[in-house]
Structure 1
Amino acid sequence: MAKRDFYDILGVSKGSSADEIKKAYRKLAIKYHPDKNPGDKEAEDKFKEAAEAYEVLSNPEKKQRYDQFGHAGASQGGYGGGGHMNMDDIFSQFGDIFGGGGSPFDSFFGGGGQQGGRSRVSRGSNLRIKVKLNLEEIAKGAEKKIKVNKLVACRTCDGTGAKDRSSVQTCRTCGGAGSVRRVTNTILGQMQTSSTCPTCNGSGSQITAKCDSCHGEGVVRGEETITINIPAGVSEGMQLSMSGKGNAAPNGGIAGDLIILIEEIPHETLQREGNNVVYDLHISFIDAALGASVEVPTIDGKAKIKIEPGTQGGKILRLKGKGVPEVNSYHRGDQLVYVNIWTPKAISKDEREMLEKLQGSPNFKPQPGRNEKSFFERMKEYFE
């Protein structure tokens, strides 16, 4: 089933501010929260759907890609876009949305609901890399294997940061909940509030003996070879995201994302204009007058085209479907061949005599306006 529009899910418009988007998500998160709707599968699905929409629209980079390419831009090639969110990801947002350590229902339900008492999950930072692609790779898509220097989970302790399993114990302060609750008396009665446990910083556990390799951090500096499948049709400056391929998080948390910035390597003879490819063809005025068959380079290799007799300089020939495809689409642009008449600068005595004889012929005198259109008129007709 096709995904719903993220703006429709949150009930906001494209021009809505960040505060308006956050307010709309907060309202839906409270309405469909699992603690408020225990056992309601439909409410849980709407809760996750709203979280996915907010995860994209609250991020300026992901929002820009979504506005330009829709769901294909938010999750190109299966990267990012909220598609890999789980409940841990969703509840990790609540520190920013509700200004506290977790669910907005913790204080009302005492942590006894479905998600109550959840310990905080740490998250690794994102990584950014640049990938250079030539025009052929952009047109056909590419698989790149890149070595990335980043923080990886410590192999000695499996990312726990502890010397051994017995060194990891439940936090005595919060009992493993990751948060502590406090009851205060007010004029309205007793109010219960929740805050991050100061002893374990929300992890719910304590380490009594640290790992010798990572010194209790759970991560070390390392190198990982990552395979990146880049879809056809990407362009200069476009960003792709691979969920969970960024820096590893301390103490076995959720890894950050890998952000891939696309750079185009200029082609020797072809120029890209959107999804179209442009080639400047230079022919002699003899070939232009008599007609000829010439070869031109394309993304797919050489192609033969026919120059009709009497072809004028500035004429645009079109090779349909020889351009660059749209991202995640079957549509492909064209190759535009601009015809330029090449005039020799140096000619022999015999050649000069032949040209002088032709110079007086009326067929070799320019006759502007006779069945000819300007360059700009031809361009307008092409794009219409």
Structure 2
Amino acid sequence: MSTRTRRPALADSVRLSGGGVEILDRRVYPFERRWVHCATSEDVAVAIEQMVTQSSGPLFATTAGMTLAAREARNEPPGRAAERLRASGRRLVATRPTNNHIRDAVQAILAATVDGPLPEASGDELVEAVTAAGAEHDAAYWARSAALGRHAAALLDDGAKVLTHCWADAYLIATVEAAQEAGKRLEFVCTETRPYLQGARLTAATLVEMGYRPTVITDGMVAAAMADGLADVALTAADRVTMDGHVVNKVGTLGVALAARAFDLPFYALVQAPDPLAPVIGDVVIEHRDGDEVLHVLGTRSAAEGTTGYYPAFDATPPGLVTRIVTERGAFRPEHVSQHFVEESS
């Protein structure tokens, strides 16, 4: 197990500069270290839609994209500048409707600027304020992820074999860092995660970077891997958690939870907080992407001509299949996850 403290490459995958935003292309990582240049906020929105970045990446892309939007509105009068910023925010929120990271980032930036103390800001004042609000949101996200990681690591026994699904990004990095600080030895099994293979490329590559030698399995091997004793616990991120404890995450997560229940293994889901705007699962929009995406693997068609694809990008795991939902404030039974906010206000 590595004791290195430098964060892995994917923890720094969005870079804001004077000339725009550079986003590390997760569609080809780790085989290529290719950066996609975004000169405008619209370029950022398109990059998010096209899966250049995923998981936590769209949050950081959004805060940077809002800075570009402020720059684009620099020469507008105050009222018009504010509306342009709000319009750019709406465009970014519409890119990926299931995960609430983008929505929350846009709301935080607007609340700190034109919808809050600076309704008449324009020009350099607006750019400076939006840039600062974005940086503050990014830093807070990492701090909350670190807190979440400490709570998650506390649930993992020394020597535990951890099965992951898809790419949990900052949550996984923080959990691994906390486990290392506690001196815990862990092993990892990663589902490859169709159709973009984020588990095989992003999760596994990051774990290797952090000093591990993970085992990669196909999505259909989860139950067999558990039956063969390759996993002691299932650990996934959540793109959103409802106030009644439903876990919405990358499609296939429900299958992992079902297999874990069949083999009496704990299933833990990681999210900074449940979404107060989603009391029940019907309040969450499940994104459906072009079915053609599942007919290809890394740009090469894998299904016969004449076939069609079906691609709900996320699924919902009901509370009864979830052992604990881990937030920045602790580990909650799913039926009690709303207590996260009770703890917050106490």
**Bigger strand fraction:** 1
**Bigger helix fraction:** 2
Alignment TM class, shorter chain as reference: under 0.3
User: What TM-score do the two structures reach when normalised by structure 2?
Assistant: 0.23
User: What TM-score do the two structures reach when normalised by structure 1?
Assistant: 0.22
**Which structure's CA Rg is the greater one?**
1
